[in-house]
Amino acid sequence: MLNGSVVECIPMDGSGIARIDLFSPEGDPFRYEANDTISGNLSGVLFKSPDIMPLNFTEETGTNCFFNYTLFSSIYPVDSGIEIITFEGATPGDYQKFGEIATLNNYAGIDGYAYTIQFFGQDQDTGKKATLICAVGSDWVKNYGWGDNGTLEINSTPIGAKVYVDSVFRGYSPITVGSLAPGLHNVTLTLTGYDSEDRIMEVKDERDSIHLMRIGDDGVGEVLRTTFLYHDPVRNLDIFKAESPNGFSTFALVSLYKSGNPFQMIYLYLQNHLRPSGGGYTASVGSAADTSASLVPTMAAGNNGETGDLEKAPGTGIKQEITPAPEVSEDSGFGSADTRQEINTPSMIPVLVQSPIIFVRNLALVSCVVLVAFILYLRWGRPEEEE
């Protein structure tokens, strides 16, 4: 079939190839000739395989697992073929080699091997690029995948903070919140007397740890990132896609993990941001207080509109208490009703204690003035005494 610059060919059954696409250079499309002949220049060939189902896999890995491949070559491989061997797990030699590749790519290790795919018969020096789609049992992914298993473990200092996940109250810290979908979630912690904390937390998906590893014919290895395509609920399979820029060789579908515990990281993250920044002490308006602290009291109204104890000012760790001034009667001679209203309102300005250094400085200044006056008196008063 001719479609512009692409010719699509369907090979015979039993060839092991589902489709072959022939590409012409840009601006130089294929042409029809006599006798239904197509002519033109070739810039590349794409081979697409059917789904290949390995035999004798366990139920955990998936008895109905399958994979397929797409191979792009810059030339047409004349008189060549592809031989494929697939088996569950990996050989002892590949175990060691794959472990070294994982370490070189900053992974702590390999948690599980699903299966190995080996390709033979293709020359690796012709600029080939491959795409593999691999299906594996969802139970295997859950057992060997490295993630949060749909949970977030949340703690705080101090404990007892209300925990909301996506605006839904889940309980008090410390708490483990489960049954969460993979992805980002908004976590809010509130505690009376402290600033509320809002954090975006990610529930890691076990599928994110599934990768395709490759050992080249030259011995060089690499970790190929996979893309999760979809879940097949009928066959209970998870389907992944990976790109191999260096073509075919030996591949293994594995679960990689990194060092550390995702629960612990979340715990430390929240703990550091919920710690109050000041020591707890009580300061009353009108008394001497440490002026280095920014005292911004927040008044809490009671049921009758009266002013009671104040909550801790955010970020100061200081609980401030306001004591209302005594009520003044009309006969006390303290002024009008407006004056009484001002007296009944607690003053919000703390009394400042003068620093000893300021006192010494003022005393020295006064002493200098007195000394200068005394000298002037002696200077101008002496002639009058002589006369």
pLDDT, residue 260, reads 54
Per-residue pLDDT, averaged over 84-112, amounts to 93
Q: Please check whether residues 121 and 217 belong to one and the same domain.
A: yes
Sorted by sequence, the CB contacts under 8 Å of residue 39 that are 6+ apart come out as 30, 31, 33
The proportion of the chain whose per-residue pLDDT surpasses 70, expressed as a percent, equals 69
Q: Are 302 and 329 contained in the same domain?
A: yes
Residue 270 belongs to a domain: no
Does residue 268 fall inside a structural domain? no
Per-residue pLDDT, 367: 79
Rounded to an integer, the average pLDDT of 233-239 is 96
Asked whether residue 269 is assigned to any structural domain, the reply reads no
pLDDT at 344: 42
Higher-scoring residue by pLDDT: 310, 151? 151
- Assess contact for 349 and 322: CB atoms under 8 A: no
Residue 265 near residue 329 (C-beta atoms within 8 A): no
**Residues 98 and 44 both lie in one domain:** yes
Residue 60 lies in a domain: yes
* Residue range of the domain that includes 165: 152-203
14 plus 77 within the same structural domain: yes
Report residue 254: phi and psi, to 5°: -135, 170
Residues 222 and 73 in one domain: yes
Among the ranges given (23-27, 32-36, 261-265), the one the predictor scored with the smallest mean pLDDT: 261-265
Residues 293 and 305 in one domain: yes
Q: Is residue 271 one of the residues assigned to a domain?
A: no
* Phi-psi category of residue 20: left, alpha or beta, with phi > 0 → left and psi -120 to 50 → alpha: beta
Lowest mean pLDDT, pick from 93-102, 200-209, 281-290, 341-350: 281-290
Residues 134, 105 share a domain: yes
Burial class, 131, CB count within 10 angstroms (exposed 0-12 / middle 13-18 / buried 19+): middle
Asked if residue 48 belongs to a domain, the reply is: yes
Do residues 231 and 342 share a domain?
no
Query: Who has greater pLDDT, 229 or 310?
Result: 229
pLDDT number for residue 224: 96
Question: What is the reported pLDDT for 322?
Answer: 38
So what's the pLDDT on residue 295? Answer: 33
Local confidence band at 379 (pLDDT 50, 70, 90 cut-offs): confident
Q: Say if CB 214 and CB 221 are below 8 A apart.
A: yes
Question: Is 262 inside a domain boundary?
Answer: no
Q: Which comes out higher in pLDDT, residue 276 or 87?
A: 87
Residue 264, C-beta contacts closer than 8 angstroms, at least 6 positions apart: none
Exposed / middle / buried, residue 53 (Cβ in 10 Å: 0-12, 13-18, 19+): middle
pLDDT, residue 21, reads: 92
325 domain-assigned: yes
- 176 and 249 part of one domain: no
Judge if 103 and 31 occupy the same domain.
yes
pLDDT at 127: 58
d(CA 161, CA 155): 9
Cβ atoms of residues 41 and 50 within 8 Å: no
Judgement on whether residues 163 and 249 belong to the same structural domain of the protein? no
Check residues 186 and 364 and name the one with the higher pLDDT: 186
- pLDDT confidence of residue 357: 63
pLDDT for residue 69: 96
Output the average pLDDT for the chain.
Answer: 75
The count of structural domains within the chain is: 4
Kindly indicate the confidence band of residue 136, based on its pLDDT and cuts at 50, 70 and 90. Answer: very high
196 has pLDDT over 70: yes
Domain co-membership, 343 together with 368: no
Confidence of residue 273 (pLDDT cuts 50, 70, 90): low
